[in-house]
Amino acid sequence: MEPVTNDAIAMDAPNRNALGQSASVAFIITHTIKAGEEKPYEDWLAAILDAVSRSSGYLGREIFRPGHGSRKYTTIVRFNSHEHLNAWAESDVRRSYVESVSDLLERGDQHEIRTGIDFWFTPGGIKPPKPWKQFLLTLSAVYPLTLILPRILGPLFNLVPPPLNDQLVKGFAVAASLTALLTFVDHAALHAAGETMAV
């Protein structure tokens, strides 16, 4: 059995909506397979993921493979709306795939629906980052931005009349810009850290 891996497919599909990942809906499927059925299950998984990638509203997926001593697969498939997710979940295509894999599973097809961003979900067998790693990761994103943003925004404030160049307004603008950037920069770093831990 290969080590736990995170097969992440970035959410850059053509049908990705303008709201981004925060508006996505996650379809989380957990399968515990029977001993010795890894190869047939991997073939089945590749086929069903190819099928779902052509579904309306599909955004991306991640696969968390079993670690040592485990045979549990967790797959996260994201859609841009509940309607598109339900359409896939209740489709004849998915039903046919699930029926074809039932003999390989110990506990049947288990799934749930969650809304929001993926790093709030930690599959079994994958430990979240330690606090000191989270601190360093966040600091590595925050510190450079606190140096760069004031230098970029400073000249712009000199061009606007009072009270828009007030110190409180400047502070709010810097804080808002920093928060907006961290929404993307820190999330990407956390995602990359999660992939590194999973290998």
Classify residue 2 by its DSSP letter: P
* pLDDT winner (highest mean) among 105-109, 119-123, 130-134: 105-109
Residue 147 CA to residue 178 CA, distance in Å, equals: 11
pLDDT digits (tens, 9 = 90+) for 18-53: 344 446 899 999 999 999 999 999 999 999 999 999
Whether the pTM exceeds 0.75: the reply is no
In the chain, the domains with their CATH numbers are 6-120 (3.30.70.100), 131-198 (no CATH)
DSSP 108-161: --EEEEEES-GGG---TT-PPPPHHHHHHHHHHHHHHHHHHHHHHHHHHHTTS-
Question: Looking at 65-69, 163-167, 193-197, which range is the least confident one?
Answer: 193-197
SS3 25: strand
